Amino acid sequence: MKNSVNGICARTLGSLVLTFLIAGSVSAVRADVIQWTINGVLININGFGSVTVSGYFDEGAPVSDITVVENGLYTYTFTGAVNGADYSNQPSQQPPTLCILAGCNPFGAPVPGTPMPVSLTIGTCNLLAPPGPYPIACGTGFEDNLQPFGFPTGTITGTLVPTPSSVPEPATWTLAALGLAAIALHRRRWQRN
């Protein structure tokens, strides 16, 4: 009878420790990712309108969703890693330049091919700063068919976003160690008797 009671106690204690380990590792959270929200306007350097820039990106992670609307006519969406491949390989939505403007054909036929690709660059000047609202970073710019847009106005705001951690918190390790010590002590006593 005594052995069965001890066995039940040991199994119960072991189950409790395992439950706390699993619960502790799942609930451990670290707030170590900064998600930046951008909302502003970039002016065409040659005086041909402006673009609005809005969306978000996670610092240090390949996560972004930024929309650029050019002169209210063309909309581009940039995803993936900030300033990565998707930020420089999208085709322009502008119509081809007329040959008469490009100096190749007096009859005004479109130039064969498509315009140059668009590119978006997010400046990283203030990304080393702690989370909070700032003016849009220097170096932020957009280019469509060799037309540069810069002189950013607006804000970029960084917010800490919790991300799951695969490493249990110190309190979880302490609880596990205490549970294992209690099991070892219980088994030692049981073996003496």
Q: What pLDDT, in 10s, does the model give residues 135-178?
A: 887 678 899 888 889 888 888 888 877 666 556 667 777 877 78
Place of tokens 């041909």: 48
Q: What pLDDT, in 10s, does the model give residues 49-74?
A: 899 999 998 877 788 999 999 989 99
In this structure, are strands 141-144 and 119-121 parallel, antiparallel, or unpaired? antiparallel
According to DSSP, residue 142 is labeled: E
User: Which uninterrupted H or E stretch holds 66?
Assistant: strand 64-70
How far apart are alpha carbons 54 and 190 in whole angstroms?
67
Q: How far is CA 98 from CA 22, 53, 71, 102, 104, in A?
A: 66, 28, 20, 6, 9
Q: CA angle at residue 126 from 124 to 129, to 5 degrees?
A: 125
How far apart are alpha carbons 2 and 46 in whole angstroms?
90
